[in-house]
Amino acid sequence: MANNKKYWYIAGLSFVCVLAFIWQLGSTGLVDETEPLFAEAARQMTVTGDWITPYFNGETRFDKPPLIYWLMAIAYNILGVNAWAARLPSAIAAIALTLGVFLVLRYWGYGTPKAAKSPTPPHQQLWLAAAIGATLNAFNIQTLVWARTGVSDMLLSACMGLSLISFFWGYVIAEKPKLPADSTSEVSNTQSAFATDKERKGKNHSWFSVPNKGYLGFYIFAGLAVLAKGPVGIVLPGLSLIIFSLYFGNFWKLLREVGVVIGGAIFFLITIPWYVLVTLANGQTYIDSFFGYHNFERFTGVVNNHAAPWYFYFLVVFVGFLPWSVYLPLAIARLRFWRRSYWQQQPRHSHLGIFALAWFVAIFGFFTIAVTKLPSYTLPLLPATAIIVALFWSEELTRDLEKSPPHLDFKRNWGRLMSGGLNLIVAIAMTIAIFISPNLIGYDPVAPNFGELFAETGLQWRGAMVWGLTSVAIALLLWRKKTWRWLLPVNLIAFTLFLAVVLTPALDFVDRVRQEPIRDLAAIIVEEQQPNEPIFMMGFRKPTLVFYTQKPVRYVYAQDDTQASLTQNPTPSDTVLMVGQPTGITNAFNLQPDEYQDLGQRGAYQLVRIEKDRLLP
């Protein structure tokens, strides 16, 4: 029976990962503005053979380190140059992170410290914690978006998350077991499997200690995180561990225990070579751009107008982790983190909740202090959020009903009732917001009638129906009081339905209206372009045109820009191809119908061929 249960959980985990990260991964094209920048830089590596300096559209791209480009380029060589291959590294990273959350909760996701001390661990609660944590980590809006986008954010989150999960694994197995060597003990068995003889005996550590397998994983994944996004890849895990160790008062002990000298050497062996090579190839330009602009200035100043108020990330986490975020305050309170002396007396394998809280606080606090703010910055804290909520719900669902209060009265269960009430409010708000969503869509020059077209799809009716029925179900559960535990399954069913019948079709619609016109014109350009004929895009800066034509594109916004580009970078061709708004190009250059060749119009874009002399003064 135990083996059958294991297979059911593994099958469920596989289903969640396929549905969340693989299903229809390449069914839509790349999305402007950021995704094609990464995809094309990776493609350039396969063309030029230069795997050190990333390029986009003939210019160096120092925004991010090379790991995501390398993985995309490898995928191109195997699967061809397409959206599926560009997004596959992000999807695999999300799967690996979800598996990491599942495993750490499977072995160490105890609902209470008391359960962790038992010689017969609560198998059902551990399996349930793993299943809930993995599902919540996969089924939230932020993770779904970034796992299906060909940029470096999901890769960073996975490397950072796996480094912290590895650290906790090493932290547990480094502790001398305090439980009897009972064959039924999950803790003893796991420590025996992952620890050396010296570690099981609780050896004394020094600065030059060899890291155990868990700590070794921390250094490796932290190194990969630095190759994925830069110094933040080690700063955030390091800050999380500092907060965690200071809470337990064992900072210096842990610093010796983790084998910082040998582990640090492994970390630098992974990270330093590329940074040295790219600096040698590009000099001070790279240092000023990457370390100065894209790291230091993002933390100390507003970059690219990405400013927001101090409470910005409270909203981002709440909305991005819906519907599970309604349980987060209650789940954090359940840890009773203020009882520090109590937690310091508990065995290490019961510390996962406090560890996840330190992880959450470190990243949330760091980016709240940072001046530049983006929603994607909170992505690396979502695994910790999933762990905290999973610990709460696994205990809640396996708690002895006979020992529970007969009713959810406000006096004894105010936290549960408030979470349930917030759940109901959110479901009602989602129903209303989705129903009126066509009227909330603002003007978009790429798709001027976007709201009207969206209303014609009927997706707002589907979404309103999903969340409307969810609101009714939640209200009934709260009214009956005894059925509180069914709230989580109701949330899961609602989110899965929303993903399958609303969100996925909506993405297809957005792609068809906003991105397909550019791909169609790119195909015409590939067919019609004459030798040395330059490509201009006027009034828009859509990097997908570069990726799908696999040609350099000159981006201009006015007549003067076009003339300057042709003067400074002359071309032997007598004509140019130009993409812009219908009538926008002809009005800018006062062209008559017989003075240009109309090659096609798709959506808000028109492709024309113009004699070069008609564009020059």
Band (179; pLDDT cuts 50, 70, 90) = very low
pLDDT value for 135? 95
Task: Say if residues 125 and 392 touch (Cβ distance below 8 Å).
Answer: no
pLDDT value for 584? 80
Whole-angstrom distance, CA of residue 526 vs CA of residue 30: 18
pLDDT value for 397? 85
Q: Taking 60 as the threshold, does the pLDDT of residue 524 lie above it?
A: yes
pLDDT value for 243? 95
Which contiguous run of DSSP H or E holds residue 60? Answer: strand 59-60
Lowest-pLDDT choice from 102-111, 264-273, 412-421? 412-421
pLDDT value for 563? 85
Phi, psi of 55 (to 5 degrees): -130, 145
Token pair listed for 543: 């990097």
Q: Taking 60 as the threshold, does the pLDDT of residue 456 lie above it?
A: yes
pLDDT value for 526? 93
Band (189; pLDDT cuts 50, 70, 90) = low
Among the listed residues 112, 86, 52, 501, the one whose alpha carbon sits nearest the alpha carbon of residue 283: 52
- The larger pLDDT score, comparing residue 278 to residue 385, is at 385
Q: How many helices, marked H, and strands, marked E, lie in the chain?
A: 31, 7
Give ∠ CA 317-163-100 in degrees, rounded to 5: 75
Task: Say if residues 475 and 521 touch (Cβ distance below 8 Å).
Answer: no
Band (200; pLDDT cuts 50, 70, 90) = very low
- The larger pLDDT score, comparing residue 482 to residue 552, is at 552
Q: Taking 60 as the threshold, does the pLDDT of residue 175 lie above it?
A: yes
The predicted-structure confidence for 226-261, as pLDDT tens digits, reads as follows 999 888 999 999 999 999 999 998 888 888 888 888
The overall average pLDDT reported for the chain is 85
Band (298; pLDDT cuts 50, 70, 90) = low
Q: Which amino acid is at 528?
A: E
pLDDT value for 614? 83
Sign of CA dihedral 174, 180, 182, 185: negative
Q: Taking 70 as the threshold, does the pLDDT of residue 430 lie above it?
A: yes
The pLDDT > 70 percentage for the chain reads 87
Q: Taking 60 as the threshold, does the pLDDT of residue 183 lie above it?
A: no
Report, as an integer, the average pLDDT of 5-31: 88
pLDDT value for 372? 72
Sign of CA dihedral 154, 157, 159, 162: negative
Band (204; pLDDT cuts 50, 70, 90) = low
Instruction: Pick the most confident of 120-124, 170-174, 483-487.
Output: 170-174
- The larger pLDDT score, comparing residue 496 to residue 289, is at 496
The predicted-structure confidence for 367-378, as pLDDT tens digits, reads as follows 888 777 778 889
pLDDT value for 193? 46
pLDDT value for 400? 58
Classify residue 215 by burial, with Cβ atoms within 10 Å: 0-12, 13-18, 19+.
buried
